[in-house]
Amino acid sequence: MKARAFSYLRASTIDQALGAHARAGDDVRFIAGGQSLVPALSLRLQAPQLLIDITHIAELRGISCEGQSLRIGALTRHRDMLSEPLIAEFAPLLRAAAPFVAHPAIRNRGTLGGSIALADPASEFPAMMLALDAEIEIASQAGSRRVKADDFFLDLFETALQPGELVTAVHVPLFKSNQRIAFDEFARRRGDYALVGCGIMASCEGDRIEAIRIALFSVGNVPTRAKGAEAVLNGFRLDATRIASAQGALQADLTPPESDEVPPAMRLHLARVLLGRLLARIGEGA
């Protein structure tokens, strides 16, 4: 199928993009990497009258340290997560997740802002925003605001973004020397969306967990923190008994959706196995 005819505007500033969106009304979409939007247009799942291309807005680019956080521009491409030294040093969990996002051709064009705005519950980066305790920077004609990742992902493909708002960047606390990360996922083939995936950020004192954030994806309508498992681990030594308790807590943390392909019990089992492996890696100093 072909996309329905649409008008196209290439914006060169945030103000221009927001103004054009406000004038055009509801029937308009921003386009960034186009790796999710273009297939949706081609299948006529979406048929907006106007596309506003944001890829030439310089203000949406760049990665920089700002105080105690790393600001990552919305137009940062998935492939940049693999090559940017600041990501490797200060946000290594994003570096660890990036090779699992789709295939090189998609990583060459797909953007962090697009992935977060879309909020696919099977996507890696939205869940990693939870694990990293990130803040999402949002621009509207009323000004700029920041929303904690914990408050951003509301329901299936639904976020705290209001119509016409633009994700401009994300802010991630700088990685510290006492922190450890672990990431992995189960997929049928490398590059496919995950059956279940998980990323962990842990602050440690020797072999004791001071604070841990565990985020899973492909386990429900939204990327999900395993808060029960976190509570089992916080303040304790990470040994086999503690890991088993955290795995047990997932039963209450997750409500996997009904699915013929991956029944809820199977998804829960995969999540438990994955969590056990990742916690063991954290224990080894991952």
Ligand X SMILES: Cc1cc2nc3c(=O)[nH]c(=O)nc-3n(C[C@H](O)[C@H](O)[C@H](O)COP(=O)(O)OP(=O)(O)OC[C@H]3O[C@@H](n4cnc5c(N)ncnc54)[C@H](O)[C@@H]3O)c2cc1C
The site for ligand X (CB under 6 A) is made up of: 29-37, 39, 54, 74, 101-102, 106, 110-111, 113-115, 117-118, 120, 123-125, 166-167, 193
Q: How far is the CB of 107 from ligand X (least distance, A)?
A: 7
Q: How far is the CB of 97 from ligand X (least distance, A)?
A: 9
Q: How far is the CB of 47 from ligand X (least distance, A)?
A: 13
Q: How far is the CB of 55 from ligand X (least distance, A)?
A: 9
CA pair distance 152, 38, nearest whole angstrom: 24
285 backbone φψ class: left, alpha, beta (φ>0; ψ -120 to 50): left
CA pair distance 116, 159, nearest whole angstrom: 9
CA pair distance 254, 266, nearest whole angstrom: 12
Q: Closer CB to ligand X, residue 118 or residue 149?
A: 118
Q: Closer CB to ligand X, residue 75 or residue 282?
A: 75
Q: Closer CB to ligand X, residue 110 or residue 256?
A: 110
Q: Closer CB to ligand X, residue 99 or residue 276?
A: 99
CA pair distance 201, 224, nearest whole angstrom: 14
Q: How far is the CB of 119 from ligand X (least distance, A)?
A: 9
Residue found under tokens 């990470």: 238
Strand extents, DSSP E, the chain: 7-10, 28-31, 50-53, 63-66, 69-73, 135-140, 143-148, 153-155, 158-159, 166-173, 179-186, 196-205, 208-217, 224-225
Q: Closer CB to ligand X, residue 137 or residue 253?
A: 137
Contact 118, 217 (CB under 8 A): no
Alpha helical stretches, state H, 84-144 = 85-90, 92-97, 104-107, 112-118, 124-131
Q: How far is the CB of 273 from ligand X (least distance, A)?
A: 20
Q: Closer CB to ligand X, residue 59 or residue 230?
A: 59
CA pair distance 116, 154, nearest whole angstrom: 12
